[in-house]
Amino acid sequence: MSQAPIRVVIAKPGLDGHDRGAKVVARALRDAGMEVIYTGLRQTPQQIVAAVVQEDARVLGMSILSGAHNQIFPEVLRLLKEQGADDVLVFAGGIIPDEDIPALKTAGIREIFQPGTNTDDIVAFIRKEVSA
């Protein structure tokens, strides 16, 4: 019996226009058989959480290269909780310095993928977490 595909929202929060990484990741997840909803650029935390809830997504991946991750990620996590959607697996990638990672993980970002990540590792991570 085949399982339903994993639904993933890939989001670009904030003002940064770097969308290559998000598109590369979205394509890789799609090629791996997942259902991917890409939000497009410059989304607010409210818009991102609305997309996750409306699309009934199991996974949210945020791509950020602007440096605003310490402000934006906690707000997204807060809104997910407010909406009763804090069981969603949230992870991220982009330009996120090593020293910021521990606090973001403590706040609830499950994993962070920096430049140079092989997309196979991202696919494997989602499959492992969702089946756990």
Nearer to ligand B12, 73 or 113 (CB): 113
Residue 95 near ligand B12 by CB under 6 A: yes
Residue 16 near ligand B12 by CB under 6 A: yes
Please state whether 113 falls in left (phi above 0), alpha (psi between -120 and 50) or beta.
Answer: beta
Largest Cα separation within the chain, whole Å, is: 44
- C-alpha to C-alpha distances, 50 to 30, 40, 107, nearest whole angstrom: 21, 14, 20
The β-bridge relationship of strands 59-64 and 7-11 is: parallel
Among 1, 2, 4, 20, binds ligand B12 (CB under 6 A): 20
3-state secondary structure of 29: helix
Whether residue 97 contacts residue 104, with contact meaning beta carbons closer than 8 Å, is answered with no
Q: Binding marks (x or -) toward ligand B12, 35..74, rule CB under 6 A?
A: --------------------------xxx-xxx-------
Given the structure tokens 């991102």, which residue do they identify?
Answer: 48
Among 17, 31, 40, 82, binds ligand B12 (CB under 6 A): 17
Residue nearest to ligand B12 (CB): 93
Nearer to ligand B12, 1 or 111 (CB): 111
Contact residues toward ligand B12 (CB under 6 A) are 10, 16-22, 24-25, 61-63, 65-67, 91-95, 113-117, 119, 122
